[in-house]
Structure formats: structure tokens, C-alpha cells
Amino acid sequence: MIELFHAEPASNSLKVLLCLKEKGVDFKSRVVDIQAFEQHEPWFLEINPDGQVPALVHDGAVITESTVINEYLDHVFPEVPLRPLDALECARMRVFTKYVDEYFRPALSQIGWQLMIHTITDKLAPAEFEAKLARIPREEKREKWRISAAQGYTPEQMAAWRRTLEEGVGKAEAALARGPWLAGEHYSLADIAFFAMAANMPARFGDFMNETASPRVMDWHRRMHARPAVKAALAVPSPVKKAG
Amino acid sequence: MIELFHAEPASNSLKVLLCLKEKGVDFKSRVVDIQAFEQHEPWFLEINPDGQVPALVHDGAVITESTVINEYLDHVFPEVPLRPLDALECARMRVFTKYVDEYFRPALSQIGWQLMIHTITDKLAPAEFEAKLARIPREEKREKWRISAAQGYTPEQMAAWRRTLEEGVGKAEAALARGPWLAGEHYSLADIAFFAMAANMPARFGDFMNETASPRVMDWHRRMHARPAVKAALAVPSPVKKAG
């Protein structure tokens, strides 16, 4: 019995939804309303003390961290393999998923957060916001929320994160020169990790993600959107409204 | 034929040395003098464009990122397995290695860097230092070096990183309540990753890493130091002198 605690089908939540749908694994969808800070409520902290979605519960055992969850799912449901059997291609996959976790996703998240935090915080009185903040387990995250909600990050910081996104698209473009998928010959968790972040990026970052600057990435992006599992993952119901 | 480009046996370089020695894999040791900024020289950037050690070359193929390298080594040299066969224990291993990469090691690195950068930069004229900086591929790292060498990080930032280290030791203590090793029953890449950072920590951070605060971690630390492979990895020759 698999339960997935997740937010709307985007970012790290989408990453695990894409893996489950690709593998055709049945699961119970448990939506956590992150715009209402539900991930920091006591009931959820009992599941994941880090206060982060997604979290997978498999026969009572909790697995956290979307990248680890997807490796776990490939371990226990190997029928549709999403890790290349070739050791070198598998290492390329992991270098890519690690890059997404450590650079690409944080940059995208910082930019998105700055743009949307006021649609969340403007509904709250200052004392209410402080109370919500106080429940965030990690100090670094409390700080990120506080800065975004108050003065906001500087244009220089926002520009640096945009450069990281452009760099990431460049890395994907280079990787796709080697084969049809990001790790090489086989569709893998690298494609899933990058797409979970990049699904809507051409519309938002068309200045560097377009047919001229990154033609292979744009072709890959269309092939991704055409996959039935990708359509199914993006269609997973979520009551959470997007900002803007 | 395996070549490992590495710095002194500490941190991420030690992580891969521990894995190779545990597996008894023969390799050619290629020392990169990071205190002389050799990792940013053109000859090394041809091997790893990110300008980071360690980098493994296996039959001509380059594998980067110490965590990925160790998973790769376990894939191609499975005789001494360092990833638990049990999927849940393997996921615990990856949550731990990921935490070391994303929180624990950066905190330790920032503290160490601030303490030792002047033993490196004081030997250089400002223009020489700027020239060295300009060759660092990643903007975030250039910024880290620049701040450490100039005003230094604030006491608040240093204190926050110390809290992260204390948190990490607490996580290890909690993990070791579950079994003899960090992932559970089996010695794994989690023990290797954490020890690569923690080898000298009791002497430097005895206020929170000691027999009272973290008795299981101290016992684990002794068991680690007693392993022949750990002794062999720590004894790998390196011309690089430690600061202080």
C-alpha cells in the first residue's frame, strides 16, 4: 500500500508523481496544502519531521526526499526501469538529478517564491505570519521565507538565480547532443527530475529556453509532454491554486 | 584502469578513497594541490569542467561528484557491497549521503575555509588572488572565496553553520540507535560519507561531539578508525599541508 503526500503537480511533488505514473504503480494521493502551510502542521511533522513534501509511505515506512523516493521506487518496482543499467549512464543520471537538487531547483524556487509569497502572506496578520514561520523546522527555510516576505531578494540575487537556470538549460542542451534523453540512450530519473522543474519554463523563461537557444531541449520538452504518464501526472487533482 | 584525482585524504576526496580502499580496488592516485588552486588550471578543467576534486577516470570515462562516484564504484565493483540490498535501508543511506552533501559538508567547509583561507591568500598579491578567483568556474564558489578572504563571514553565520554540524551529529546519534551503522544493519556509503567529514571532528567540535552528548557517534567513530580500509585511506600520501 503506497500513499504519497504531495502538493500540486509541480516541482518535487511532480517529480515523484511522474515516477509513479510512468511505472503504473497504484497509490493513494494525499494532497498537502502548502499555501496554507499544512506541511508544518503537527500531523504532517509526524510523517516528515523536516516539514517537506513529497513524502511516501509504503506499508507503514516513510521515505522522504523526492530524489531518494524515486530511486526507492525504482528499487521496489523494477518492471519499468528508470535507472540505466549501464553504470556510466547511471552515473550521468545521478550527476544530473544532483545538479537539479543542489542548483537548478533552489534557483527556480527562490525566484518563484519571491513572486508568489505575497499572494500567501498578504492574507495573514503579521503575528499570524510569525506563528507560521516559527513552525518551519529548518532555520535556512525560515530565513528564506522571512526575506522574501519582507524586503525581498535583491535584483542581483534574482539575476544570479536566472543565470543558474540558463546554465541548467545549457547543461540539458549539451546532454541531449549525446542521446535522446538526458542520461543518454534511456529515459530515466534525470528526465523526470529536470522536467518536474522545467514543465512550464518555456513560457516563463523564453529568453533563454526557446527554439534558437535550446532546440534540443525544446524537442525533448515536447516529447516529455506527449508521454501518457506525464499527462497523467500533470492531471493529478490538487485543490491548491497557482499564483498569478 | 582507475585513476583518482584527489586532494589530501579529507572531505570529499577522503569519501572516495574510503570506498576504493574498502573495496580493495587498485587505482592510480593523482594528487591535486588545491591550496595552489591546481583544480582550476586548464589541464584539470579538461578532466572536470566544474574545477572540483575528486574526479574518477575509469577506462577513459570521467565520473564526478564524490557521492555519485561512490555509487558508481559500488555498481562496477559489487564484490564488497556498500549499498544495502534492502530498499528501505538503501533509501536511508541516500537520505544520509544527501544530507551530508547539502547541509553538513557545506557548513563544515564554510567554517574550515574561513579559518584557513588566509594561510593561502596571504602568500598572494591582490592581483594574483583576483586572477586565481577569475578561473573558478562557479559563481557561487567565487563569491564564497571572495567573502572569506575579504571581510569574512559574520559570527552569526559561523554560529548557524556550527548549529548545522551539531544537528548532523544529532541525526547520526539518532540513526545509530536503530543499528550499528548509519543506514541500519550494514556498513554503507552513509558511514563513509559522514566519516569523510567527521574524521577529525571530536577534536575540533568537542562541545557537542563527545561521550556525553553523542556516545553512539563516539563509539561509531572508534569503530570507523579501527577499520583497516579507513587507516589505509587516511594514510594515502598527499603533499598538501594542513592549515594550523
Task: Give the amino acid at B22.
Answer: E
Q: Work out whether the CA dihedral B100, A109, B50, B119 comes out positive or negative.
A: negative
Give the CA angle between residues A21, A26, A29 to the nearest 5°.
85
Q: CA-CA distances (angstroms) from residue A84 to A89, A91, A180, A185, B72?
A: 6, 9, 13, 8, 12
Contact A65 B98 (CB under 8 A): yes
B-contacting residues in A 38-77 (Cβ below 8 Å): 58, 61, 63-65, 67-69, 71-72, 75-76
Mean pLDDT to the nearest integer, B119-123 = 80
| Confidence (pLDDT) at A156 | 92
Which of A19, A52, A72, A103 to substitute to test the interface with B, most B CBs within 10 Å?
A72
Cell 569523510 belongs to B196
pLDDT tens profile A84-137: 999 999 999 999 999 999 999 999 999 988 888 877 788 888 888 888 888 888
Mean pLDDT to the nearest integer, A137-162 = 86
Q: A71 in helix, strand or coil?
A: helix
Q: How many CA atoms lie within 13 A of B169 on its CB side?
A: 28
Q: Are B86 and B181 in contact, with CB atoms under 8 Å apart? A: no
Highest mean predicted confidence (pLDDT) among A161-175, B27-41, B109-123: A161-175
| Confidence (pLDDT) at A243 | 42
From chain B, the residues in CB contact with A158 under 8 A are none
Q: Are B189 and B70 in contact, with CB atoms under 8 Å apart? A: yes
B1-19 burial, b for 16+ CB within 10 Å, e for fewer? Answer: eebbbbbbbbbbbbbbbbb
pTM tops 0.90, yes or no: yes
pLDDT tens profile A148-157: 788 788 999 9
Name residue A4's beta-bridge partners: A29, A56
Q: Which residue of A has its CA nearest to B164?
A: A139
From chain B, the residues in CB contact with A68 under 8 A are 91, 94-95, 98
Q: Are A51 and A38 in contact, with CB atoms under 8 Å apart? A: no
Mean pLDDT to the nearest integer, A195-224 = 97
From chain B, the residues in CB contact with A64 under 8 A are 95
**Using CA atoms, how far apart are residues B23 and B80, in angstroms rounded to an integer?**
6
From chain A, the residues in CB contact with B64 under 8 A are 95
Mean pLDDT to the nearest integer, A209-231 = 98
Nearest CA of chain A to the CA of B174: how many Å? 13
| Confidence (pLDDT) at B244 | 36
Q: Which backbone phi and psi does B30 adopt, to 5 degrees?
A: -120, 105
Q: Which residue of B has its CA nearest to A89?
A: B72
